[in-house]
Structure 1
Amino acid sequence: MKDNIQPLPFEVAAVLGAPDRLAALDAAMPVFLGPDADFDDITALAAALFEAPIALVTVLGRTDQWFLARQGTPEIRAPSEDSFCARLITLSSGEPLAVRNALEDPRFSSLPSVVGEPHLRFYAGAPVTIDGRAVGTVCIFDIKPRTEIAPDLLPRLKRLAALAASLIKLKDEARRRTLAAEVLSRDEKRHALALDAANVASWLWDIQTGMVSGNETFYRMLGIKPAKPMRARKFFTSVHSADRKMTIGRLRNALATGKEYDGLFRAAKSGRWLLGRGRVHEWDADGRPTIFLGINVDVTEGQLASERTRLLLRELNHRVKNTLAMLQSLARQTLRQTSDPVEFMDAFAGRLQSLSEAHGLLSDHEWGVIHLKMLLQKQIMPYAFDYESQVEIHKDEVELGPDQAVGLGLVLHELATNARKYGALSVRSGKVVITARVVNEDEQRVLNMTWHEVGGPPVDPNGRRGFGSVLIERSLDKILGSSVHVEYLPKGVTAVVRMPL
């Protein structure tokens, strides 16, 4: 502690440290940022009123007195121990206080600023009150004592203190509004960024002016350039004509009932599928809607996926019916060829497996197209000792549709099982040579494929043709223009397949 500084009396320290007073000061001025030019006129008026060389607008903390404005001193703070104003807010009960000669007043005579430089003598101050709590003062000093004070001076000083309090409140309110605006701006920016990142369009329809405005995503989804507010009529025409009537009807219902708008529509220009949500946000005094807020979410991918699923289900339903009919035919024909249950099960199970393999490939490719190479591998590999060395393939790039894959799969299955039982695949030295070429015939792409077996046991050309041979030749009956011709040559079976693609 400095020499000759008079400690604060207990009652003064108690007032300075009162929690409710400090709370009022902290609420009005959380941080002291230094002298504020907005308060300079108050110190100038106070100095002129009293014709005093020193005038201050102060705020009092627990241990320090800060100067919001000052005249006649370069200082911006002083310790509370050496403060006239700290004693003022304890002694005055909210009223101004005048000290004519501090050297003769025992309450102030021992203060360092009285007994030493600048040898203050005259003091007048009025408390600055915020929410009923004294948080500072407007005060003046003179180094000369005074015996008389004009009766109107202290009331005027009180009004200046009230003016300082009002200015503090106004500046605090402005500060709070600025902070709130900054928070709102940050929130709006964050929300805008979040909507943009999530690819969500937001829009506002001012019903009174008929204008619709939105974020950048809104205009992008609708395919509207330039991105600027537009009339509601243009907004409605941006909806695909097939969906426009329904969309407008749902919006009108939301306006009439106050319920949420919920609709799915296509954008006329971009063709994107958009899910719309919204509701009335404001009404006028008569209960008529004035502001409508909405969002759009691009659900094109989901909509296309749903459409693909519906198409796949229809295709699957069609394929199941065809497959069941084919299974019935296979079962009847297989039974006609054998009365042995074991032999029937072996033959029928193999053909059923062939259908399953083809269906599995098509399912993996969403019932679109599959490559001939994959079908050859699936149908022949189980019947070869060594697929890589026993199956030689020369082919063009060939894609097969569902009917082509199922029919050709059965042909390959019968050829492969026959080769395994009696032909080239029954011995390790045997080989199957497959050639598949695509040619153009009258602007129609046609697959010409040959199956030729070599290195197997000799073939008896006069052997009985079983159901397998019949099945090979009739498996492509559903594909117009297709045919399968099988030759049982002594050196090996040869099959020629012709199938339009």
Structure 2
Amino acid sequence: MTESTILPAEDYPALASLPRLEALRNFVPDMTEPDSDFDALTAMAATVFQAPVALVTLLDIRDQWFKSAVGVDQTSAPARSSFCAHVIDEAERGELVVLDATKDPRFMSQPFVAAEPFLRFYAGVPILIEGQAVGTVCVFDVQPREQVDPTWLTQLHRLSEMASALLRLKHESRQRALKEAEISREEQRHEMALDAANIGSWLWNIRTGEVSCNHAMTRMFGMEPSVTIQAKDIFAAIHPDDRLAALSRLRTAMANGEEYDGLFRVTKGGRWLLGRGRVHERDSAGRPSVFLGINVDVTEEQTSNQRTRLLLRELNHRVKNTLAMLQSLARQTLRTTSDPKQFMTAFAGRLQAISEAHGLLSDHEWGAIRLSALLHKQLAPHVRDYDRQVEIHKDEILLGPDQAVGLGLVLHELATNAAKYGALTRAEGTVIITARKVDEDGMQVLRMIWTEVGGPPVAEPDRKGFGSILIERSLDKVMGSSVEVQYLPAGVTALVRLPL
């Protein structure tokens, strides 16, 4: 590629925009690495446009990185010689379509147009993060085109919205992991500060096996002070359940020249000890000869912070489960519809339902949320007049994360079906929801009834679609839950049982 084909920065001011670059780097620190989670989006884009090449790209000031690619092997390209730079620079237009690059003065002299692979057609839509265009979802063809079906462009826009949602979910997962790591580091600093007057220090002569240590160290391990202590005695004093992991971490630190950092229990007394150390000396052959370390009693802190760590791990696990759920929903939706437009509509709606539930949970720091808020979030987009068409009779009910996400999907599918085929197809149609908290043998259970009135006559479908299956299975994670849908002539009725 010649220097003349790469335009100067002033020709693409948006590429150098500080807010755009800040959003890109904050949300996608691993922009240079391909990510298979985006492969379903590129595959769908290629299918919709019947194009040999489809990309999900990210652009910094110099490079264009391919997070996912169909039809090409490379993972990056110069940003300022790309078609996508124009999409970023003119993001307010919403899209860029080039029917024949050889007739467009902006692209006719570019290497991939004038030479192999002789690109001709291009369509791209920006990926927006916090209002900033950080990348594109785009397709290429080596054949020019006379026109583009507007519905294809609509689907390309939806794919870019999915890419943006996926980037935000990944960002949330990373932020939670960083928060957990930060809390863990703060715990260690706090523990050492609290126990500064009771630190066990030790020096291990690896060649002889002897360990020299102070009195605090012997007290921690339940040993009597003696002239010499062997390393095997120290290792034997570690709780059997923790011994293998502690030794493994110690060997790894010694082999790699890293700092040893281990947490374990002592069999005698059950105290939790935090061990830190590193190789202090090596022999002429580079083998470790002396290891210097300290132990701090962290029993009280470990006990008091155990619940916090468990909650953070569970929260991170839920985010990962959500990503897996999105992939499963995409695959199942694809299996039940061959029409790309129908797929996009169905999948985007389900993605939005999960996003709405996550938004409510995030606002409440992943604690309990009110049923009334979830009902409004999931039903409001499907009704003309919420106050008139949705009649709710309920107790004050709080839902946990599993209940909220699962019930949110159920409500979305019921509302979608009602808007397509049932009561919400008519202005006079109404959905009546009764939700009561009842006591069943000492267990609190939500019993909810969804009833549609004022709609067209209803008949039970010949076969169940994925939406019906999703209604029945969305609450599988909540033991003892169930959803029964009845297709009564007067309207669909759904009976939900959900342990709280």
Q: TM-score range by the shorter chain?
A: 0.3 to 0.5
Higher Rg of the two aligned structures: 1
Higher relative contact order (CA 8 A, sep 6+): 2
Q: TM-score, normalised by structure 2?
A: 0.40
